[in-house]
Structure formats: C-alpha cells, structure tokens
C-alpha cells in the first residue's frame, strides 16, 4: 500500500507537536484526521493549510480522556475512511505542582488526559487497522525517565505511557501493529510558552546540540516511527531530547 492511500489519525493536532506531525504526514501523502478538543478554529486552520498544500485533511472533535467521546470518534472515522494505518496520540496536558499542593483532582486530570487517553484511543482504534497492520506512536516525555522538581505527577503519567506502549506492542504485534513512543524534552509549543527566556537559554545550553526543539523536530521522529523504515522497531520509547537526558 502506498503512503497516498494511508489514513493517519492524530490527536492533539490543532496545535503544537500534533499539528506539525499532521502536516508532515500529509506532506508524505497520508490522509490525516485532525483531532482536537476545544480549539475548532485552530484545527480548521490546520486542515486548510494541509489542503492548500495539496494534501487531504479533515477535523474531528473529541475528548480523548472520555471513553464515550473516543468511541464516537472511532465510529466517525470508521464511517469516513473504513480503516486506519497510523495513530498518533499527541493530545496531552502539562501541570507542575509541589508535593504539598498535589491532590486527587490534579492527579486525575494529568492521568486522564495523558495516560487513560492512550488506553482509550488504542482500544477504540486497534480494530480499525487492516490486515497489513500499521503503527501507533505515543507522546511520552524525557521527564518520564528524569523527573524534575514539581513534575512528579506529570512525569509519572508519561512513565505509564511508556509501560502502556510496551504492553500494547506485545498485544498488537501479532496483528503487525507496531506501538512506540517518542519522549521529547522542552519543545516550542503553547505547552511551554510560559517558560522564561532565561531558563530556556539555560536548558538549551545543556543540550549537546545547543538548542531546544521545534515541533517539527519531534514530528520527523514520529513520522519515522510511523513509517515502514522502522518496521522492526516496536515497544520502544525514543528519547527525542537533543541528547539532554542522562
């Protein structure tokens, strides 16, 4: 099957890493389903940009932390495309709090949006992969391996994504569905817009490459994992951190 016939579903594609991934997959001939939660105008703009560039894209609203919403999304995509070849789970939220301010509501918000979401989409979309299989790429974080102060819960929610990635890779391997994750360090998106420039420069200076990531840096790694070039890679988390993490 050529890339021109491939269908890719990207959650969190209205902005940031998901948007860059949708654009990169569309540029390689995939038809892309742009999944957003609230920012319909941003999602429509991504669709318009991809179509203007000669690609195929359509926007779908869903809350990936809600089972009913994810199942409805999968039904809508099954009706529209019949099958999928690639699923990228980029939707997520970041929160940082000191230990004394941690509470069940914060834990639930982080784990529902970052971890339960991966379970729900994988469960709902796995039946839509065809006989040739395909690829699922999840968004972890370098913090899953190296948490920093006030990031314990977010880091744990991403460490759990790494475990889901490994476990689902084993379960879906017999159907030739590969499941991998990328683990970015600070990447220039809305999620990291609040990081002061001075801190940004300090972190950049600590990477061997002397800079922080653009969304396209992470998107290229996701596209590689989604492609047949990495057909022998599954159950892995790739640190896409410019060499920052020990």
Interface pick for ligand NAP out of 23, 31, 90, 110 (rule CB under 6 A)? 90
The minimum distance between CB 62 and ligand NAP, in angstroms, equals 6
In the three-class reduction of DSSP (H, G, I as helix; E, B as strand; rest coil), residue 56 is classed as strand
The CA-based angle 86-91-93, given to 5 degrees, is 160
Catalytic option among 154, 168, 185, 244: 154
Judged by CB, which is closer to ligand NAP: 27, or 93? 93
Q: Does 65 bind ligand NAP (CB under 6 A)?
A: yes
The answer to the question of residue 94 lying near ligand NAP (CB under 6 A) is yes
Exposure string for 121-132, b = 16+ CB within 10 A, e = fewer: bbebbbebbeee
Q: List, in sequence order, every beta strand (DSSP E) within the chain.
A: 7-11, 31-36, 56-61, 86-89, 134-139, 177-184, 237-240
Strands 7-11 and 31-36: parallel
Looking at 146, 191, 204, 230, which residue binds ligand NAP (CB under 6 A)? 191
Task: Give yes or no for residue 189 binding ligand NAP (CB under 6 A).
Answer: yes
At 175, give phi and psi (nearest 5°).
-95, 10
**Contact of 85 with 135, CB cutoff 8 Å:** yes
User: How far is Cα 104 from Cα 185, in angstroms, rounded to an integer?
Assistant: 26
Q: Of the listed pieces 32-40, 52-60, 129-137, 169-177, which binds ligand NAP according to CB under 6 A?
A: 32-40
Stretch of 71-79, 88-96, 129-137, 166-174 lying at the interface with ligand NAP (CB under 6 A): 88-96
Catalytic-residue membership of 94: no
Q: Should residue 139 be labelled a site residue for ligand NAP when binding is judged by CB under 6 A?
A: yes
Q: Which of residues 200-239 bind ligand NAP (CB under 6 A)?
A: none
Alpha-helix residue ranges (DSSP H) falling in 28-115: 40-52, 67-81, 104-111
Binding site for ligand NAP (CB under 6 A): 11-12, 14-18, 36-39, 42, 62-65, 90-94, 113, 139, 141, 184, 186-187, 189-192
Catalytic residue numbers read: 154
């Amino acid at each position: 099957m050529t890339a021109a016939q491939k269908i890719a579903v990207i959650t969190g594609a209205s902005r940031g890493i998901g948007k860059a991934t949708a654009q990169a997959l569309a540029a390689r001939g995939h038809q892309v389903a742009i999944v957003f939660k609230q920012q319909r105008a941003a999602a429509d703009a991504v669709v318009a940009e991809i179509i203007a560039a000669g690609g195929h894209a359509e926007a779908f609203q869903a809350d990936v932390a809600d089972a009913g919403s994810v199942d409805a999304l999968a039904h809508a995509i099954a009706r529209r495309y019949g099958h999928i070849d690639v699923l990228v789970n980029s939707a997520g939220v970041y929160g940082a709090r000191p230990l004394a301010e941690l509470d069940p509501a914060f834990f639930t918000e982080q784990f529902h949006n970052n971890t339960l979401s991966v379970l729900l989409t994988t469960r709902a979309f796995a039946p839509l992969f065809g006989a040739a299989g395909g690829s699922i790429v999840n968004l972890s974080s370098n913090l899953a391996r190296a948490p920093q102060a006030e990031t314990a819960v977010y880091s744990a929610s991403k460490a759990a994504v790494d475990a889901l990635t490994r476990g689902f890779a084993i379960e879906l391997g017999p159907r030739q569905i590969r499941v991998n994750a990328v683990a970015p360090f600070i990447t220039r998106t809305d999620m990291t817009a609040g990081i002061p420039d001075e801190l940004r420069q300090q972190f950049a200076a600590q990477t061997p490459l002397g800079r922080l990531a653009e969304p396209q840096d992470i998107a290229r790694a996701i596209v590689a994992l989604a492609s047949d070039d990495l057909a022998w890679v599954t159950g892995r988390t790739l640190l896409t951190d410019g060499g920052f993490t020990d």
